[in-house]
Structure 1
Amino acid sequence: MNITLADHVSVVPGEDGSSVVLDQRNGRYWQLNATGAMILRLLLRERNTRDTVRALVERHPTAAERIPGDVETLLATLRERGLVTV
């Protein structure tokens, strides 16, 4: 799996760790909180969910049970909206 931003998408980081994801085709945007922004950054860096989950669990071991579902949910939403390609 090779996760990348779609060509028509840009991400602008916020000062508080959040990010804004902009679909340049239609001007729609989505605000990601700091956790969502971190997941997106890791998905784009690691290029797959397995390594993204592993990196997040290393940083937040107390949330290990919840992390895989959170990663999959965000990735599914980004895919549905055409913001990332897999």
Structure 2
Amino acid sequence: MTLRLRADVSTADTDYGTVLLDGADGRYWQLNASASLTLRTLLDGGTVDEAVRRLTGTYAVGPDRAREDVERLLTRLRDARLVRP
């Protein structure tokens, strides 16, 4: 699964993670460092499993919790309509 942001969604990396700006309505979302790592992995063509491995290799989090976090982020991105279907 390759995740793609909508064309009018832009990103900016910060010291604290990533900010997503929806150019269509002006809303923005701030992702923390772990959500940013997840998003980058998925945008680069990585799978959910790869995102889980990167999270567990970078942060003190178990695989079950990491998978829940990845799935939750994907759900929120879809619900906010920031990603292409």
TM range (shorter): 0.7 to 0.9
Q: Show structure 2 runs of 5+ residues with no match.
A: none
Aligned pairs for 1:31-70 (under 5 A) are 31-60=30-59, 62-70=61-69
Q: What is the total number of aligned residue pairs between the two structures?
A: 85
Identity %: 38
**What runs of 5+ residues in structure 1 fail to find an aligned partner?**
none
TM-score normalised over the length of structure 2: 0.84
Q: Distance in 1 between matches of 2:49 and 2:84?
A: 16
On the 8 A contact 1:4/1:47 being kept in 2, the answer is no
Q: Deviation at 1:47?
A: 4.0
Structure 1 residues 25-51: Cα deviation after superposition (integer angstroms, max 9, x where no partner): 000001111111111111111343122
Greater shift in the superposed pair: 47-56 or 73-82 = 47-56
Check whether the contact 2:52–2:66 (CA below 8 A) recurs between aligned residues.
Answer: yes
- TM-score (normalizing by structure 1): 0.83
Equivalence for 2:27: 28
